[in-house]
Structure formats: C-alpha cells, structure tokens
Amino acid sequence: MMAHIERAATTGFCFGVKRAIDILTKAAVEHGRIVTLGAIVHNRQVTEKMAHLGIAVAPNLDAIHGDVAAIGSHGVSPQVEAEMKSRFRVLIDTTCPFVHRAQSTAKQMAAAGFKVIIFGEADHAEVIGILGHAQGKGIAAMDTGFIAELQPLPRKVGVLSQTTQIRSRFVAFGKDMVGSLLDKDVELRLADTICHDMSDRQEAALELARKVDLVLVVGSRTSANTNHLVDLCSTATNSRLIETADGLERIPLEGLQRIGVTSGASTADETVDAVIERLKKLA
C-alpha cells in the first residue's frame, strides 16, 4: 500500500532568507563579486547556488578578500559591523528584521541597566551578534542553572529569545525565571523576540506531526532552526532530518501509512519538492 504523503502548510525559505537572497542577488549584479561573513543561510544547496552568482562565503573577517562584503541574515555584533565598515568599501547588510528586533531589544535592556539573558545557543552566530548588542551585559542560557552563579544577583534582569527557538520552551524558561527571581527583589523584564515566520512554521510542523507516522524535516544539520523543528516534531512522532532527497535512502519507510514533510527556514521549496517526488516513488 502506498503511503499518504503530506506537506506542512509552511515550507521553503522564510521571509528573512528570501529577503537576504534578494538583496545579495541584486547587489551582485551591481558590484560583481561579494563575500559574506559566515553562511548566507545555513544551507549548502543555497550557498552553492549563490556561488554561481559571484557571492562567496568567508568563515572570518581576515578571509574576506575584495572590497565588497556582506553581513548575513543572522546579523553581527556592533563591534564586527564597525570593523567591516572600516575594512570594506561597500558593506551590504542582510540582517533579518526579526534579528534586528532582538538586537535592539538587547541593546535597550543593557542601556537601561538590565543584565540581559538570551534564551539560545551561546555558539550560534545570531546569539553571538545579540550578545554584542548587550554591551557585555549579556549571557546566553538554555536553562536557569546560571542564576546560582550570578553573584551578587543583579537588581534588573531582562530576558529575550534567539529568534528561532521553540516558543513553548521559551515560555517554560520565562516561567522558571519568574519562579526563581520573584521573591529576590529583582525587576524582571521579558520580551518575546521569537520570529513570527518561525513560530508559524513550528505550529504547522507540530500539527502535521500529530497526524503522521514519520516527519521528514528537510534542511541542513548546521541550521539551528531545522534542528529545533526536528526536536519539536519528535515530541509528537518519529522525526528525521534529511538534507536532500538522497537522504531518503537511509530512512526505513516500510509499513508507514502517513509521512509528513516540512523544512527549515533556509531550505528552498525546490529541495522539498524533490524530496516529495522521490518519496512518492519509494513509499
């Protein structure tokens, strides 16, 4: 019997990735070769396609040769931005507006004297950039264990989130923060900086996961939001990450009646289409 294959209501590039690709594609026509700091998006297929347009990726500032550079959609710290402005003749900024919102929230909190807590992964490019905007007053954390090490306890604590985190986990984190600090004479400020595109995508993925035997999340292993989607879907059903249709070879599909397909925010819809086409032949 053939399995029923269902695509999530939201797949393909998110608003910020589409916007970044658009800005860079137009800029490449105007300036020729452009080098971006870090991945344009965390997706190899997209990066390869951009390379054909003359848009290259450098892992650090010193590896950028040429005079036209770009900041990726995850944004950078103000220090890195200033350094890039001084080094390159043209600097193109593709920072997603949702990331900008998180950066300016961190900046405002720090300026108002708050210790800034970012719910997110300390080594992710976006979080490193936001920490820079917190002017040295920021910490990245995934649970409230760090509170015990805050000596003395700050009088003002501000909490925000990496844009692609799972909303229900941020809510749980916020509640834990309130529970830990409520009777400690601390002013606590909480800001929901999760991106709308991502929370819609997560809701659609979870809705799908509840109806199927397996969810395939198409995206790169290095993409934080793709991994978050796998985690989220795993709370409802068996879930696997695949980068392209070729990844289907390693997934046991026998006996499955319903298979769901969703994607990370930096996966092209064409890659999702190719997975579904191959799946129709295999399942």
CA distance 57 to 42: 11
Return the percent helix, strand and coil in the chain, to nearest 5.
45, 20, 35
**Residue 73 or 239 having the CB closest to ligand F3S:** 73
170 binds ligand F3S (CB under 6 A): no
Under the binding rule (CB under 6 A), the answer on residue 119 touching ligand F3S is no
Is the Cβ of residue 16 or residue 174 nearer to ligand F3S in the bound state?
16
Decide if 128 contacts 158 (C-beta within 8 A). no
Residue 169 is encoded by which pair of tokens?
A: 């986990």
Among 10, 105, 163, 202, which residue interacts with ligand F3S (rule: CB under 6 A)? Answer: 163
Distance of CA 51 to the CA centre of its chain: 21
Q: Which residue is nearest to ligand F3S (CB)?
A: 16
Of 81, 121, 126, 243, which residue is the catalytic one?
Answer: 126
Stretch that binds ligand F3S, among 52-60, 94-102, 144-152, 240-248 (CB under 6 A): 94-102
Nearer to ligand F3S, 115 or 201 (CB): 201
Beta bridge partners of 216: 240, 261
Q: Given the complex with ligand F3S, which of 117 and 130 has the nearer CB atom?
A: 130
121 binding ligand F3S? (CB under 6 A): no
Centre a 10 Å sphere on the Cβ of residue 198 and count the other Cβ atoms it contains. Answer: 25
Count of residues engaged in binding ligand F3S, rule: CB under 6 A: 15
Quote the tokens at residue 117: 């807590």
- Using CB under 6 A, which of 11, 94, 164, 267 touches ligand F3S? 164
* 14 DSSP assignment: -
Residue 203 falls in the annotated catalytic set:
no
Residues 249-278 that bind ligand F3S (CB under 6 A): 265
Determine contact, residues 3/253, Cβ cutoff 8 Å.
yes
CB of 211 to ligand F3S, least distance (A): 24
Rounded Cα distance between 54 and 34, Å, is: 6
Among 4, 6, 15, 180, binds ligand F3S (CB under 6 A): 15
Residue 11 touching ligand F3S (CB under 6 A): no
Strands 55-58 and 156-161, by their bridges, are: unpaired
Rounded Cα distance, 10 and 196, in Å: 12
Residues in region 186-225 near ligand F3S by CB under 6 A: 195, 197-198, 225
The residue (of 17 and 208) whose beta carbon lies closer to ligand F3S is 17
Rounded to 5 degrees, φ, ψ at 221 are -65, -25
Residues 170, 194: contact at Cβ < 8 Å?
yes
Binding site for ligand F3S (CB under 6 A): 14-17, 73, 96, 98-99, 163-164, 195, 197-198, 225, 265
Q: Which amino acids are annotated catalytic?
A: 126
